[in-house]
Structure 1
Amino acid sequence: MALFGGKKKTQDPLDIAEAQRLREQQEIESEFLKGITTLRDLIAPSSLEVQGSYFRLGTKYGRTLYVYGYPRQIYTGWLSPVINIDEVIDISMFIYQVESQVVLHNLQRKVGELEATAQVLAERGRVRDPGVEAAIRDAEELRDQLQVGAERFFRYGLYVTIYADSLDELNFVQHKIETILGQQMVLSKVASNQQEQGLNSTIPQMTDQLQIRRNMNTGAISTSFPFTSADLTQDKGILYGINMHNNGLVIFDRFSLENANMVVFAKSGAGKSFTVKLEALRSMMTGSEVIIIDPENEYQRLCDAVGGSYIRLSLNSSTRINPFDLPRVIDSDDADDALRANLITLHGLLRLMMGGSQTLANGVTTPALSPAEEADLDQALIDTYARAGITSDPLTHNSPPPTVGDLYETLLHMPGNGPQLAQRLRKFTTGTFAGIFSQQSNIDINNSMVVFNTRDLEDELRPVAMYIILSYIWNKTRSNQKKRMLVVDEAWQLMKYDDSANFLFSLAKRARKYYLALTTVTQDVEDFMSDKMGRAIVANSSMQLLLKQSASAVDMLGEVFKLTEEEKKRLSNFPVGQGLFFAGQNHVHIQVIASPTEQSLITTNPQQLQQAAPAQPEAPSASTS
């Protein structure tokens, strides 16, 4: 040991204690940091397993595909169906710019090779190759564009990684992607034995480990612009809501489709009446007339706000509708058939009045009228019109029409089944239901909004009333053709009876010819769709709106509308006002929205109505002295 100045240098005890304290503090911090969960730990999967044709991230299966072939011409939006597919996918695009001078040199050499090939074929007398000639034209055109700076050249790589919960589902999604691309002659393959590189190329870390690229010029590469989404926006129409795919506006004109019919399916409280009232209010702003059949008194506030006609039908009201009214048709071809068409309509109505068809326990349906009774009734209807001076001659159709009371008198004095039929009809002439449908009409629907309220009608009379109302509206529609919207709320009440269901279906088929848009609203989806007429009405409607559904109705609607599994899951869990909006071949996830003013006019929420109602002043209390 070396000594300096005869003294030994010793360490200060305070320094030793401080050093010990620092070491202990570092050890404590080190142990603390070991127990901290980092962001990387939170987002990382529990495991990663890579196979030749797929990989597995935790419990999810995945597979990467790459695109290697394109058609000679490709059009804008070709990638949109893949981007908008209702599956979990990742898409990566890698675009590398290439110097134009290098491309021009290569194109010059390529054109020389192609022309030499064409010349050799010609010298040998072989049939010309259209593919070679097309390649020469394309190369020359691209050279011209590059030379003047109108085009640039790029190397383009496109990779798609799909995810699923099982291998079977993964194969199904792959088939969907390949089908969509194959329809446009775009060829894709699975990145075999390169699934890890494919995953790394599609996660957001900017690494192209697959390096499978295709030459493209500016025009071709612009067609693959990725920021596209399902869109239902037109230059004209009304606002239906917000597109939840891209936060765009769903603005649509239903009259632009092959027919303007629409069906609205939703469970109670999902917002179907709110949506229909909102559409009606906005359609009036574009010049449409709106006619509504209201079985629950939900449309009165809206009707009063816009100055419409609110027609309340009940045995106690003074409203009268004569089912024998004939349309004043301008078209000569329709005028010749006006009486015959109304006779057919009256046959269905009278079957309803006389009890309707009955379905027995064994499933056999018995008609309301026998063939002999049908024949007698037909003759009685013709005679009743004839006594009023109305025949098949259109010139006689301006005469005052007969009534149900006139038909009763005709039947009563007819031989055969006439008196018996008159007795079955008597309750509508002099019995319990007399008055409302047995006298001349005293209503006029020449208003921008007309609402027929059937809430106070007896259950037995309601289907008859709805049938007569629809017939009356149809006659008016044929008489004066203009842009109209007819809303049939709670349409399941009509579908319970064969005759009224047939009439509604006939209305759906013929409405387009008379510039009429039929909106059918129902909450009883199972009964509506199980009936063949209900399915036919849906088939004749170019627009559909599916709001929140009961679990029992989801599978049926999924089969009818070809919904994906994800859409079926959403359909039973949509919040109020959200749903699937179908228009022609397109459909989007929509959120129906209204302004505060519209909300106050159309809401049926009791709490909102109570808040909007003006406060009532308290009655003064009596004082005692």
Structure 2
Amino acid sequence: LQMEEGFTSSLPLAEDEIKIVRNMTSSSLATTFPFVSADLTTNEGVLYGINRHNNSLILFDRFKLENANMVVFAKSGGGKSYAVKLEILRSLMLGTDVFVIDPEDEYRALAKAVGGSYLPVSLNSDKRINPFDLSDMGKDADGEQNLRSAIITLIGLMNLMLGKLTPEEDATMDRAIREAYAARDITSDLRTQKNPPPTMQDLHNVLKNMTGTESLAQRLDKYVTGTFSGIFNQPTNFDLDKSFVVFNIRDLEDQLRPIAMYIVLNYIWNRIRFEKKKRMLVIDEAWILMQYEDSAKFLYSIAKRSRKYWLGLTTITQDVEDFLNTTYGKAVVSNSSLQLLLRQSPASIEIVQETFNLTDGEKLLLLEASVGEGLLFAGTDHAAIKVVGSYLEHKIATSNPEELAQLAEESSNTSTT
């Protein structure tokens, strides 16, 4: 027996008393290293946090990567929104414009702190977006392509609003939408696309006057004259004139949320394509879009094309399984050079480990991580990260109910003295 020699050899004395050698493949050898950590520090960019292995700063410019897209996965309370809010604050200081689709009213304080626009989207709101708006692509754009792109997007919207269209209904809707534009003298001629666009009411009128479209017209009724009338049936009445804009959809009924997210996403996308500028688009609770093929496909198309328009897409979700179990969800991850994994639940850790090829040590870290701790993948490198903010940043970014109540009380006491 060589127990004593084995014990001595395992001590940090640089002495090998066993003298046994064994050849190993590189993959087998890799299993002996629970972490492979890289230095993610450059001379410029945004501070994401601290490397937990060597205490170096994780600081870089996401727009210098292959693409600037990012996915953020964590269980509820894992620090997803907190990490993204800190990145938004720091990106705004570097001149990046940021749009946020906010389903839970988490970004209102941030918008107020930086002087941004906060736009509630609900049945009672006075803010309206017309889904028939055309993108202003400039005088050299292809008018037919611009109109065709709008029609395809609207057919995707109809699949969400009316239920999945049959091939016959799809073809009929294509013709009806084109006729609705024609009724406003909008054609493939780029000059006509400056005219006021049609609304949902115009499409409804066209459908009522066509033969064999009674079912489509009836299904559209509730968005034109019924319970949901008004919200998607008015001209757009605001402009994106701030560097930080939040679209809040918290007060929408569950049935309307994916529809509103789709319309807002399309509205932002049209603006992004018109003027190339460094921008971030943050979609919180992105799993809502993944529930429907047309909205999932639209999100994937933005992820795939974002680099061309100097856009960094950030998708955030706590329903990791729902997101990764879809074809388009996995495709969005594949088209994201940045992946932030914070604390995970035991129910989702297996699919996370499989998707991101994690070691058992990294899997354990994500299960036992504290709030704001996890793994950050940037291109081919990754490191264990701890997200940190200054005192002022923390006051703006926190969503902890106890801390928010305390901050509200402090603010009230200050205003009364």
Please give the TM-score of this superposition, normalised by the length of structure 1.
0.62
SS at 1:402 equivalent: coil
Quote the residue 1:38 is aligned against: none
Q: How far 1:440 sits from its partner (Å)?
A: 0.3
| Aligned residue pair count | 407
SS at 2:336 equivalent: coil
Quote the residue 1:410 is aligned against: 206
Task: From the superposition, tell whether residues 229 and 381 of structure 1 become closer, same or farther in structure 2 (CA, over 3 Å).
Answer: closer
Q: Distance in 1 between matches of 2:370 and 2:118?
A: 32
Quote the residue 2:276 is aligned against: 481
Q: Distance in 2 between matches of 1:463 and 1:230?
A: 38
RCO comparison, higher one (Cα < 8 Å, 6+): 2
Task: From the superposition, tell whether residues 542 and 575 of structure 1 become closer, same or farther in structure 2 (CA, over 3 Å).
Answer: same
Q: Distance in 2 between matches of 1:439 and 1:608?
A: 40
SS at 1:520 equivalent: strand
CA contact (8 A) 2:349 2:363 kept: yes
CA contact (8 A) 2:37 2:382 kept: no
1:241 matches 2:49: yes
Quote the residue 2:126 is aligned against: 318
Q: Distance in 2 between matches of 1:160 and 1:432?
A: 79
Superposed, 1:313-352 pairs within 5 Å as 313-330=121-138, 332-333=140-141, 335-352=143-160
Quote the residue 1:491 is aligned against: 286
Q: How far 1:545 sits from its partner (Å)?
A: 0.1
Q: How far 1:539 sits from its partner (Å)?
A: 0.3
Superposed, 1:519-538 pairs within 5 Å as 519-538=314-333
1:400 matches 2:196: yes
Superposed, 1:498-517 pairs within 5 Å as 498-517=293-312
Q: How far 1:229 sits from its partner (Å)?
A: 6.6
- Partner amino acid, structure 1, of 2:90: R
CA contact (8 A) 1:289 1:485 kept: yes
CA contact (8 A) 1:237 1:252 kept: yes
1:305 matches 2:110: no
Q: How far 1:336 sits from its partner (Å)?
A: 4.4
Q: Distance in 1 between matches of 2:27 and 2:149?
A: 54
CA contact (8 A) 2:139 2:190 kept: no
* Paired-residue identity, %: 53
Q: Distance in 2 between matches of 1:484 and 1:561?
A: 27
1:373 matches 2:166: no
Q: Distance in 1 between matches of 2:31 and 2:310?
A: 42
CA contact (8 A) 2:131 2:154 kept: yes
Q: Distance in 1 between matches of 2:277 and 2:142?
A: 16
Q: Distance in 1 between matches of 2:31 and 2:235?
A: 65
Please give the TM-score of this superposition, normalised by the length of structure 2.
0.92
Q: Distance in 1 between matches of 2:16 and 2:138?
A: 60
CA contact (8 A) 2:142 2:190 kept: no
Task: From the superposition, tell whether residues 444 and 563 of structure 1 become closer, same or farther in structure 2 (CA, over 3 Å).
Answer: same
Superposed, 1:22-101 pairs within 5 Å as 49=3, 56-57=6-7
1:554 matches 2:362: no
CA contact (8 A) 1:547 1:580 kept: yes
Pairing partner for 1:433 from 228, 232, 238: 228
1:296 matches 2:104: yes
- Partner amino acid, structure 1, of 2:291: K
Q: Distance in 2 between matches of 1:406 and 1:524?
A: 38
Quote the residue 1:263 is aligned against: 71
SS at 1:317 equivalent: coil
Task: From the superposition, tell whether residues 408 and 245 of structure 1 become closer, same or farther in structure 2 (CA, over 3 Å).
Answer: same
SS at 1:613 equivalent: helix
Q: How far 1:243 sits from its partner (Å)?
A: 0.9
Q: How far 1:583 sits from its partner (Å)?
A: 0.3
Quote the residue 2:361 is aligned against: 566
- Partner amino acid, structure 1, of 2:365: R
Q: Distance in 2 between matches of 1:173 and 1:413?
A: 70
Q: Distance in 1 between matches of 2:26 and 2:6?
A: 16
Q: How far 1:464 sits from its partner (Å)?
A: 0.5
- Partner amino acid, structure 2, of 1:408: H
- Partner amino acid, structure 1, of 2:183: R
CA contact (8 A) 2:37 2:384 kept: no
SS at 2:47 equivalent: strand
- In angstroms, what is the RMSD of aligned CA positions? 2.7
Q: Distance in 1 between matches of 2:116 and 2:199?
A: 28
Q: How far 1:480 sits from its partner (Å)?
A: 1.7
Quote the residue 2:81 is aligned against: 273
Task: From the superposition, tell whether residues 49 and 449 of structure 1 become closer, same or farther in structure 2 (CA, over 3 Å).
Answer: same
CA contact (8 A) 2:76 2:318 kept: yes
- Partner amino acid, structure 2, of 1:533: Y
1:424 matches 2:378: no
Q: How far 1:175 sits from its partner (Å)?
A: 3.9
CA contact (8 A) 1:267 1:548 kept: yes
- Output one character per residue of 1:357-403: Cα deviation in whole Å (capped at 9) or x when no partner: xxxxxxxxxxx211111111110011111111111122211111101
- Partner amino acid, structure 1, of 2:234: Q
SS at 1:263 equivalent: strand
CA contact (8 A) 2:49 2:388 kept: yes
- Partner amino acid, structure 1, of 2:154: L
Q: Distance in 1 between matches of 2:132 and 2:401?
A: 41
SS at 2:347 equivalent: helix
Superposed, 1:587-602 pairs within 5 Å as 587-602=382-397
SS at 1:293 equivalent: strand
Task: From the superposition, tell whether residues 273 and 91 of structure 1 become closer, same or farther in structure 2 (CA, over 3 Å).
Answer: farther
Q: How far 1:330 sits from its partner (Å)?
A: 2.6
- Partner amino acid, structure 1, of 2:80: K
Q: Distance in 2 between matches of 1:561 and 1:448?
A: 34
Task: From the superposition, tell whether residues 334 and 544 of structure 1 become closer, same or farther in structure 2 (CA, over 3 Å).
Answer: farther
Q: Distance in 2 between matches of 1:345 and 1:566?
A: 44
- Output one character per residue of 1:300-320: Cα deviation in whole Å (capped at 9) or x when no partner: 001011111100011111111
Q: Distance in 2 between matches of 1:160 and 1:513?
A: 56
Q: How far 1:607 sits from its partner (Å)?
A: 1.4
CA contact (8 A) 1:230 1:245 kept: no
Task: From the superposition, tell whether residues 335 and 383 of structure 1 become closer, same or farther in structure 2 (CA, over 3 Å).
Answer: closer
- Output one character per residue of 1:237-260: Cα deviation in whole Å (capped at 9) or x when no partner: 110010112111011100001110
Q: Distance in 2 between matches of 1:90 and 1:514?
A: 54
- Partner amino acid, structure 1, of 2:224: T
User: For structure 1, which runs of at least 5 residues remain unmatched after alignment?
Assistant: 1-46, 63-88, 93-158, 162-167, 181-227, 356-367, 618-625
1:605 matches 2:413: no
SS at 2:63 equivalent: helix
CA contact (8 A) 2:156 2:294 kept: yes
Superposed, 1:180-219 pairs within 5 Å as none
